[in-house]
A and B are shown apart, each in its own frame.
Chain A
Amino acid sequence: MAVSDIAASDIVETVPSALLILDRNLNISSANRAFYQTFRTSPDETEGCLIYDLGNRQWDIPALRTLLESVIPHRASVEGFEVEHNFPTIGRRTMLVNARKIFRPGEHDGFILLAIEDVSEERAARKESNRNWQVTQSIVDTIRDPLVVLENDMTIVTASKAFLTMFGITQAEAYGRRVSELGQHQWDVPALRNLLDKVLPENRPIESFEIEDDFPGLGRRVFNLNARKIMQPGNHAHRMLLVFEDITDRKQRERDAELLTNEISHRIKNNLQVVVGLIAYEIKSTSAASVPGLKAMQARIGAIAQLYDLISQSSRGGSIAVDAYLNEIAKQMSASLIGDKSGIEIRVKAAPLAIDPDRAVPFGLLVNELATNAIKHAFPNGGVGHVLLAVEQVHDDIELVVSDDGIGMQGKVVQELPEKRGSDYVAIFVRQLGGTLTRPMPEGKGTTVRIRLPLLLLPAGGAAPLAA
């Protein structure tokens, strides 16, 4: 069957839109099934009736009158004429009306074909969407931190007032632009672009990305960027929320604190240099017997100073990573091993623990004394050897182990004065830390000193280690 064989009435009955044919007097000549179903009426009630009288005059709608009496007489067709009306039978409806004049050959007056599409649900959904968007925009505007919502092509859908102020632009100017195009393109940073590119496809949020810049509306600021994917129920399109947290004041406080810490550290260590220098002058004029004790004193002052950098960082509220702390002690001691002691290697083996900053100095000095003793007594004639500084957690205690592969105890009990004093210091530091010292024991080759300390060390992660 050819298309031309299909009756016009078949088409009229098939289309989903409600169709009405009116004569020149606006009486209804006919309607299709979709019309009767949509508006819950019948052919008997409809055909021959003036359209305005249909269904107890519920079609006497001012907008429809305007269309039929004022628009149609002057135009051959009208499309998308929107009529909203509260029908007693079917409730409030929004309709899109298309109208066309139809003339049969030889007829002068012709007919009017009205195609009526019920778009009520679509319009209601659009209204709801707009209302939701307005609520969202209101929330966005009340948040003090600047934020933007980006499409998946990284263009801006909407921006908060704080964001617009920050860049000195209007909502219209922001819409459709990429973040990388803002300002003088100073946000076109590869590292940021790479992070943003992963937020949507990989659902990988950006927790913090610091950026410092000059902003037209704010001046120089530091922002922490956070971004995450946002999804709307029933909507497959994904967008990204990008929040700019202003951390300028916090950064400035951190910088001021660091500057102050550095200044204090500089002064303290310069003063300690003077103290070490004063002792150096004493060494020049004192008896040979006193020299080892004075040099040991210099080493202890040096140990405090060298640890000071690590400890001073903890003054900003953090703890100190034990492995970094021991490595620093080992590095500084290794640098002092000269002559026949230069073959001695100091190694570190530390569990991932952090140390309480209040007890870092006695802990560091304790390690320094034990390591100094090991170097001195285990290798009296120098040569090649090893000293191991180890820390591990044993149940609820911390065990500090300083061992060597030197000559061992060899029954020595009485020590010369400076070394005896060193042992006294060890005992004092252990008491200060609330620990217990086991007698130095020969274990295999060499000597091992074990010290049990209460939990002065915190598990790593309990506080951010600053000395890594």
Chain B
Amino acid sequence: MAVVLVVEDDVFIRELAESMIQDWGHTILSASDVPQAMAHLRSSVPIDALFTDVYLKAEIHGGCDIARQAILMRPSLRVLYTTANRITDKLHTLFAVGTHFLPKPYTEDQLGISVRNLLAA
């Protein structure tokens, strides 16, 4: 089973995603903004995957910034982005190479497929 860092500024949406991921047997690390996420990433705790919202209130592309730094710190980290925003070509260019994406709103089944594919990649 994997350790997944979930970064989401909406508490309800984050806790819902976390409970789903935990139901599948994975371990959860939780963050609601960039500093909290970076604190987890700088720690020695092993992290297999990052599931992050792109838009984090004050940080318009905060999730992209976290993912970019996270991959530099942990090159084997798998990344799954999500956002309620429209996916433009400009936003696509901010996604790190080899990462995955799941648009909002996602159901449990869709998140399940995305996490399974992410960890199998």
Q: Which residues of A contact B (CB under 8 A)?
A: 262, 265-270, 272-277, 280-281, 283, 295, 298-299, 301-302, 305-306, 309, 312, 335-336, 338
Partner of A270, one of B20, B84, B87, B109: B84
24 chain-A/chain-B pairs, Cβ below 8 angstroms: A262-B86, A265-B85, A266-B55, A266-B84, A266-B85, A269-B104, A270-B13, A273-B104, A273-B106, A274-B12, A276-B106, A277-B12, A301-B105, A302-B105, A302-B106, A302-B107, A305-B104, A305-B105, A309-B86, A309-B87, A335-B110, A336-B110, A338-B109, A338-B113
* B23 nearest in chain A by CB position: A284
Distance of A274 Cα from B110 Cα, bound (Å): 15
Contact (Cβ within 8 A) B85 A273: no
* A280-B16, A312-B86 known; A270 vs B104 contact (CB < 8 Å): yes
Nearest B residue to A270, CB-CB: B84
Residues of B within 8 A of A299 (CB): 107
Interface residues of B (CB under 8 A from A): 10, 12-13, 16, 20, 55, 83-87, 103-110, 112-113
* B-chain residues with CB within 8 Å of residue A281 when the two chains form the complex: 16
In the assembly, what is the distance between CA of A461 and CA of B117, in Å? 41
Q: Does A336 contact B13, Cβ atoms closer than 8 Å? A: no
**Across the interface, which residues of A come within 8 angstroms of B83, CB to CB?**
266
Q: Is the Cβ of B84 less than 8 Å from the Cβ of A277?
A: no
- For residue B12, which residues in chain A have a CB less than 8 angstroms away from its CB? 274, 277
Q: Are A270 and B10 in contact (CB under 8 A)?
A: yes
In the assembled complex, the Cα of A262 lies from the Cα of B85 at a distance in Å of 6
| Nearest A residue to B17, CB-CB | A277
Q: Which residues of B contact A295 (CB under 8 A)?
A: 107, 109
- B86 to chain A: closest CB distance in Å? 4
| Chain A residue at minimal CB-CB distance from B54 | A266
Q: How close is A155's CB to chain B, nearest CB, in angstroms? A: 38
Q: Which residues of B contact A269 (CB under 8 A)?
A: 84-85, 104-105
- Interface core residue of A275, A281, A295, A309 (most chain B CB under 10 Å): A309
The answer to whether A298 touches B113 (Cβ under 8 A) is no
Contact A265 B20 (CB under 8 A): no
Q: Which residues of B contact A266 (CB under 8 A)?
A: 55, 83-85
A267 to B10, CA, bound (A): 11
Q: Could you tell me the distance between the alpha carbons of A181 and B12 in the complex, rounded to whole angstroms?
A: 58
Establish whether residues A273 and B105, one from each chain, have CB atoms under 8 Å apart when the complex forms.
Answer: yes
Most buried by A among B10, B103, B107, B113: B107
Q: Which residues of A contact B55 (CB under 8 A)?
A: 266
Query: Which residues of B have CB within 8 Å of A274?
Result: 10, 12-13
Instruction: Tell me, in angstroms, the Cα distance from A274 to B12 when the chains sit together.
Output: 7
A295→B16 CA distance, assembly (Å): 16
A272 neighbours in B (Cβ, 8 Å): 104-105
Given contacts A265-B86, A269-B84, A270-B84, contact A275 B105 (CB under 8 A): yes
Decide yes or no: A306 and B107 within 8 Å by CB, A280-B20, A312-B86 being known contacts: no
Closest to A301 in B: B105
Q: Which residue of B lies closest to A305 (CB)?
A: B105
Give Cα A277 to B54, complex, Å: 19
A306 to B20 alpha-carbon distance, docked (Å): 21
Q: How far is the CB of B13 from chain A (nearest CB, A)?
A: 5
Residues of chain A lying within 8 A (CB to CB) of residue B85? 262, 265-266, 269
CA distance A385 to B13 in the complex (A): 35
Residues of B with C-beta under 8 A to A280: 16, 20, 107-108
CB distance from B45 to the nearest CB of A (A): 27
Q: Nearest Cβ distance between residue B37 and chain A, in whole angstroms?
A: 19
Question: In the docked arrangement, what's the CA distance between A302 and B103, Å?
Answer: 10
CB <8 Å contact, A283 and B108: yes
In the complex, residue of chain B having the shortest beta-carbon distance to the beta carbon of A261:
B86
Interchain nearest-CB distance for A308 vs B (Å): 9
Report the Cα distance A281→B113, complex, angstroms.
19
